[in-house]
Amino acid sequence: MAKEGLFNVRASDGGELRLSRASVGRFSLYLRHLEGVLGEGAAKVSSGQLGEALGITDAQVRKDLAYLGSLGQPGIGYSTQELIDAIRRLLGIDRCWPVALVGVGNLGRALLGYRGFAQRGFRVVALFDTDPTKIGQVIDELTICNVEQMPAVIAATGAELGVIAVPCAAAQMVADALIRAGIRGLLNFAPVVLRTPAEVRLVSVDLTVQLEQLAFLVHTQAPESPDTR
Amino acid sequence: MAKEGLFNVRASDGGELRLSRASVGRFSLYLRHLEGVLGEGAAKVSSGQLGEALGITDAQVRKDLAYLGSLGQPGIGYSTQELIDAIRRLLGIDRCWPVALVGVGNLGRALLGYRGFAQRGFRVVALFDTDPTKIGQVIDELTICNVEQMPAVIAATGAELGVIAVPCAAAQMVADALIRAGIRGLLNFAPVVLRTPAEVRLVSVDLTVQLEQLAFLVHTQAPESPDTR
DNA sequence: GGATGTGAACGACTTCACAGCG
DNA sequence: CGCTGTGAAGTCGTTCACATCC
């Protein structure tokens, strides 16, 4: 009932590009690794080196990078910096994304303090919680607001993405409120399947599911280790 | 260079079964939903209802559930309880998994307090940190130990799985230590690609990658919302 | 009628293999 | 010679469609 598929992206040359879902996930990993090797002074990388580092084949890497245009030089490799810039553009993280965080428990605080977010241009600009005792507290110069204030606060701060880090009983209600307030994408950590209108994007991360995957792998002694996600 | 693939599982009838990676991820979601509907008193479910709830097709659900054996009754559906039991057996979570948690920062604490873990039989039995000021602190009746004590503590507690919630600079070192101490599977939250021997299972969760996926989806206004993973 | 289980068709993703370029 | 870019082949995963059974 839900159709999987390819993404249509405006390519750098202005044309349309069909991008597979699986590649999108890998671009984040390429980016992370490329920023690392650039810091070590490597101005060039080859598909073989990248594949080695991420545990995938060199052919796969070349297929992915070909989406960015013809950035590679035969016999030489790719310019690290050029790849980084192109991937950031493709993923849409060549700019700042203002984020609203709902649920300032341990998980929320962990996300708030997470370096990786800021480094990639994600900036938490608003905090919300449903617990009345937390309303009004200030963390990192941000005041925790209640859900009723959401439309006003989100309009004022310009938050476009929402992170849901509340217990699962409250998750759908929080999602609905965020959507009413005009948020365009949700990152959900609550272990429930959220119902959202088609125009709101949703990514869910369920920590229990990940642990269960691991238990399954250990339990069955499966042949190969899986990749990140 | 790493081959992806199917898992060989000992089926309930004793035979070998080939199980796709993708299905494994969905079994956790089925389980979560089934426990919910069982709590509401639904003794039977159909593939259509399950698919509707998780946003996938009924055919997909039937294909997945067929891995469990022929539990369905044509015209009736599946017994909720039977499915729950069979999925728990398949995933290997029909027993308790002792877990060692490394890194007692915000994320570590969030995981420690996470209800879902305990409910599914994952029990944190050992805590470690690299920060000397935290060593010796007691949380939830567990004393935070340092990495040197790892072999002894893990042997004493019987921990089989390790959760890595340390900054990425320390992650590989922690992984190596856990592996030396005899751990069989790792759940990694640090944004690096860990190197592990083939017999140790690895699942990685990179929160930045998830946010970047979301940014990409919003950025491109892709047609359909993705599912959990 | 209503729902399962499953071969066959379809579509997506990965790997192969090699032409072509620096 | 080394490495990229890409058609072709192969593998994996999902959906269709329908025989089958309660």
CB contact under 8 A, B206 and A28: yes
**Given a cut of 60, is residue B217 above it in pLDDT?**
yes
CB contact under 8 A, B205 and A204: no
pLDDT band at B115 (very low <50, low <70, confident <90, very high): confident
List bases, strand D, within 7 Å of protein CB.
1-7, 11-17, 20-22
**Given a cut of 60, is residue A223 above it in pLDDT?**
no
Q: Does nucleic acid strand D have an atom less than 7 angstroms from the CB of A108?
A: no
CA end-to-end distance (rounded Å), chain B? 24
Average pLDDT over residues B6-20: 66
pLDDT score, position A97: 97
Residues 121-150 of chain A with CB under 7 A from strand D are none
How far apart (Å, rounded) are the C-alpha atoms in residues B74 and B96?
34
pLDDT score, position B7: 73
pLDDT score, position B223: 52
Q: What percent of chain B has pLDDT over 90?
A: 83
Average pLDDT over residues B104-118: 91
Across the interface, of B28, B58, B184, the residue whose CB is closest to A208 is B28
pLDDT band at B12 (very low <50, low <70, confident <90, very high): low
pLDDT single digits (tens) A121-147? 999 999 999 999 999 999 999 999 999
pLDDT band at A225 (very low <50, low <70, confident <90, very high): very low
pLDDT score, position B151: 97
pLDDT single digits (tens) A93-129? 999 999 999 999 999 999 998 888 888 999 999 999 9
Distance A62 CA to C19 C1' (A): 16
pLDDT single digits (tens) B139-177? 999 999 999 999 999 999 999 999 999 999 999 999 999
In chain B, domain spans: 7-91, 97-209
pLDDT score, position B2: 31
Q: Does nucleic acid strand C have an atom less than 7 angstroms from the CB of A74?
A: yes
pLDDT band at B10 (very low <50, low <70, confident <90, very high): low
Cβ within 8 Å of B, A 99-138: 99, 105-107, 109-111, 113-117, 120, 122
pLDDT score, position B114: 87
**Residue corresponding to tokens 């751990």:** B183
pLDDT single digits (tens) A3-55? 446 777 766 566 667 788 889 999 999 999 999 999 999 999 999 999 999 99
Average pLDDT over residues A148-173: 97
pLDDT score, position A18: 74
Whole-Å CA distances, A100 to A165, A175, A189, B41, B112 = 11, 12, 14, 37, 24
User: DSSP secondary-structure letter at B166?
Assistant: S
pLDDT single digits (tens) B49-88? 999 999 999 999 999 999 999 999 999 999 999 999 999 9
CB contact under 8 A, B107 and A105: no
Q: Domain A97-209: which CATH class?
A: alpha beta
State whether the Cα torsion B97-B175-B24-B30 is positive or negative: positive
Across the interface, of B8, B110, B120, the residue whose CB is closest to A208 is B120
CA distance to partner chain A, nearest, from residue B125 (Å): 15
Q: Does nucleic acid strand C have an atom less than 7 angstroms from the CB of A63?
A: yes
CA end-to-end distance (rounded Å), chain A? 24
For residue A211, give the chain B residue with the closest CA. Answer: B187
Q: Does nucleic acid strand C have an atom less than 7 angstroms from the CB of B47?
A: yes
CB contact under 8 A, A161 and B193: no
pLDDT score, position B108: 96
Distance A57 CA to C4 C1' (A): 40
**Given a cut of 50, is residue A206 above it in pLDDT?**
yes
pLDDT band at B19 (very low <50, low <70, confident <90, very high): confident
pLDDT score, position A228: 41
CA distance to partner chain B, nearest, from residue A2 (Å): 6
User: Looking at the C1' of nucleotide D16, which residue has the nearest alpha carbon?
Assistant: B59
pLDDT score, position B5: 58
Task: Determine how β-strand B78-79 pairs with β-strand B44-45.
Answer: antiparallel
pLDDT score, position A62: 98
Nucleotide nearest to B49 (CA to C1'): C3
For residue A29, give the chain B residue with the closest CA. Answer: B209
Average pLDDT over residues A166-185: 97
Averaged pLDDT of chain A: 91
Distance A55 CA to D3 C1' (A): 19
Q: Does nucleic acid strand D have an atom less than 7 angstroms from the CB of A63?
A: yes
Averaged pLDDT of chain B: 90
Whole-Å CA distances, B25 to A115, B28, B187 = 28, 6, 15
pLDDT score, position B226: 47
pLDDT single digits (tens) B175-189? 999 999 999 999 999
Which of B39-71 are b and which e, b meaning 16 or more Cβ less than 10 Å from the residue's Cβ?
eeeeebbbbebbbebbbbbeebbbebbebbeee
For residue B16, give the chain A residue with the closest CA. Answer: A220
Model pTM above 0.75: yes
DSSP 3-state assignment of A58?
helix
For residue B102, which phi and psi values (nearest 5 degrees)?
-115, 125
For residue B220, give the chain A residue with the closest CA. Answer: A9
pLDDT score, position B212: 95
Q: Say whether domain A7-91 belongs to CATH 1.10.10.10.
A: yes
pLDDT score, position A226: 47
Residue B3 parent element (H or E) = none
pLDDT band at A222 (very low <50, low <70, confident <90, very high): low
Nucleotide nearest to B77 (CA to C1'): C3
